[in-house]
Amino acid sequence: MAARLLALCAGLGALGLPAPPGLPVHLGPGFPAPAWKNISCWSCRAMFTALDIALQFDSNLDEAAVVAATKLCIDLKLAPQDICAQAIGLFKHDVIAAWINSILKPSEICGLLLGIDCGRWDIYSDWNVTLPDTPKPPVVPPKAPRPSAPVTRVLFLTDIHWDKEYSPGTDPDCKDPLCCRRGSGLPPRYRKGAGKWGEYSKCDLPLRTIENLLQHLRSDHFDLVYWTGDIPAHNVWHQSRRDQVVALDTITALLRRHLGHVRVYPSVGNHESTPVNSFPPPFVRGNQSSAWLYGAMVAAWKDWLPKEALETLGRAGFYTVKLGPGLRLVSLNMNFCSHENFWLLVNSTDPAGQLQWLIGILQEAENSGDKVHIIGHIPPGLCMKVWSWNYYRIVNRYEGTIAAQFFGHTHVDEFEVFYDEETLSRAVSVAFIAPSVTTYIDLNPGYRVYQIDGNYPNSSHSVLDHETYILNLTEANRSESPKWLFLYRLREAYGMDTAFPADMDSLIGRLAQDDRLFHKYWYLYHKGHTTQVCEQACKTATLCALRTGRADDPHLCKDLHKKGTYGETRRLWRQRKMC
């Protein structure tokens, strides 16, 4: 019973309701700050034991749980009253179904809420993928191609977050988790209303801005498009399956119209589903399953993907496709690694067999001398520990085959370096994390273009450089026809010879040493719109994220923090927005 109550709380946490300013951090993944921060392990257990007993005396358990969860939501000020009620109404069905079979003790609940020190949980349970016996080929350090070699330009779009209720003139600082929309009310007299093209606040984008971006992109040339998800807005307390499919179809149609014949390869974001983050693995069947969503994706994307890819997409939201001679793409469904996907509390062992499948694809590619690009939504360093450690092992084993990795989800501009497992000192791979199209929160709209070693025999197919473009909202709002601007080019901005793993790793070292360079990074990280300064612990946490290709590894950042600051860094690191 406590399980069911917690399920509802988990659903709420999964809403990712932003913490009110000034309040510190949440303790467990996916839980909003004010709720759990101040609870000791002991009082957490006491509280859930009490609730457990109380609920045993109530015959209408689900109802009681809903009432209790709504009260908690309101008392803890997680969200305004009406949003609490709507959110819990929306989440209760699925979340209860996810939990009905998992019998949880208060200690397990508190383990989930407060971390592993306070109890155990299935998401902490251990499992290992099986690597083939084929020995790892000798490592060949990457080499820059000759200057005249062809280059592939890949347009990278992520986290569009279209708000169909966006409404200029409304209050950008409303009390709801998402503003600038119908129902946000009018701003106070001293504050201007939401801008025509977007707003620096907790707001998503109107369709007009997305269309404007796509029109602008017509004038450029791209060989390929990678599109890593999060299509709908952040109004997660009020989304139906129909709303999600309409968003998927609308944005897909826009891309098709404006990008024309260029092939687009999508990935599934955590916002595609409703409730948000709810991605039942294939062991869940019937109406609870994700069939409604994957089916809509198969229908929407059928012109872009071959039949075999549509088959795995329809089953579990991931696929692979051969892009051309010597290059294969893998699109992962990273929701199967997510702390916030409450279905994984039932069974988190390699959901949908995705990682084992990935190993098969990589081994085949290795056998035939192909390179592989991996795209996905949530970056691996933000995954559940066991999933991400397994993924790290795979990246290590296939470092010669995985030419590049690309993710989104954090909405900011960053990357994660992977190191060799033996010494954690040799950089073996980089996951590039591109900034969002949306402004959420306080950002300029933006997009990324990757330059990749092109299509010729023995090409490395690795990232040579990348460019980031933004819409300067301050300027855009003053004009009828906004201009998308070039913001920076990686190697030029940071003075790098290559964008290979070793150079990305040494960039982290240089950022740690050089405050001016870090300042520049912090500016570009926010797409040219910084609202906060970043010193000491914030800086360490920000740099630590760049080292962290696998979750919960205290060794990766050892040299970055001074003695005694590890706890603080970890705290800040966990505070990173889940988008």
Ligand X SMILES: *[C@@H]1O[C@H](CO)[C@@H](O)[C@H](O)[C@H]1NC(C)=O
Nearest partner of 181 among 196, 164, 169, 165, judged by Cα: 165
Least distance in angstroms from the C-beta of 305 to ligand X:
25
Whole-number minimum distance, CB 152 to Zn ion, in Å? 26
113-116: long-range contacts (C-beta < 8 A, 24 or more apart)? Answer: 113/6, 113/27, 113/28, 113/31, 113/36, 113/39, 113/44, 114/27, 114/28, 114/36, 114/39, 114/41, 114/44, 115/27, 115/28
Q: Which does 81 bind (CB under 5 to 8 A by kind): ligand X, Zn ion, none?
A: none
The stretch near Zn ion (CB under 5 A) out of 18-26, 265-273, 465-473, 506-514 is: 265-273
Separation CA 472–CA 42 (nearest Å): 49
Binding partner of 93, given ligand X, Zn ion, none, CB within 5-8 angstroms per partner class: ligand X
Q: Which range touches Zn ion (CB under 5 A), out of 64-72, 155-163, 290-298, 416-424?
A: 155-163
CA distances from 244 to 176, 240, 293, 312 (A): 20, 7, 8, 21
* Least distance to Zn ion, CB of residue 563, Å: 35
579 binds Zn ion (CB under 5 A): yes
Residues 6+ apart with CB under 8 A from 310: 298, 301, 302, 319
Q: Of the ranges 167-175, 192-200, 212-220, 408-416, which one interacts with Zn ion (CB under 5 A)?
A: 408-416
The residue to which tokens 């991605």 are assigned: 279
Q: How far is the CB of 145 from ligand X (least distance, A)?
A: 11
The residue within the footprint of Zn ion, chosen from 152, 212, 270, 472 (CB under 5 A), is 270
The separation between the first and the last C-alpha atoms of the chain, rounded to the nearest angstrom, is: 29
Among residues 171, 199, 230, 505, the one that binds Zn ion under rule CB under 5 A = 230
DSSP tag of 234: S
126: partner contacted, choices Zn ion, ligand X, none (Cβ within 5-8 A by kind): ligand X
Least separation in angstroms between CB 144 and ligand X: 16
Whole-number Å distance between alpha carbons of 548 and 416: 6
Of 301 and 469, the one with the shorter C-beta distance to ligand X is: 469
Distance separating alpha carbons of residues 243 and 293, to the nearest angstrom: 11
For residues 440 and 199, give the distance between their C-alpha atoms in angstroms, rounded to a whole number.
9
Q: Which is nearer to Zn ion, 235 or 459 (CB)?
A: 235
Residues 6+ apart with CB under 8 A from 9: 31, 35, 69, 72
Nearer to ligand X, 367 or 474 (CB): 474
Q: How far apart are CA 135 and CA 29, in angstroms?
A: 37
Q: Which does 230 bind (CB under 5 to 8 A by kind): Zn ion, ligand X, none?
A: Zn ion
User: Footprint of ligand X on this chain (CB under 6 A)?
Assistant: 38, 93, 126-128, 192-193, 195, 199-200, 241, 287, 347, 349, 457-458, 472-475, 477, 528
Question: CB of residue 69 vs ligand X: minimum separation in angstroms?
Answer: 18
**Closer of 314 and 408 to Zn ion (Cβ):** 408
302 binds, among Zn ion, ligand X, none (CB under 5 to 8 A by kind): none
> At a CB cut-off of 8 Å and minimum separation 6, what does 256 contact?
264, 303
Residues in the chain: 579
**Shortest spacing between CB 100 and ligand X, in angstroms:** 14
Indicate the angle between helix axes 61-75 and 41-56, nearest 10 degrees: 140
- Residue number with CB closer to Zn ion (27 or 579): 579
By CB under 5 A, is residue 234 in contact with Zn ion?
Answer: no
Q: How far is the CB of 153 from ligand X (least distance, A)?
A: 23
Q: What whole-number distance in Å separates Cα of residue 192 and Cα of residue 114?
A: 40
Positions that interact with Zn ion (CB under 5 A): 159, 230, 269-270, 409, 579
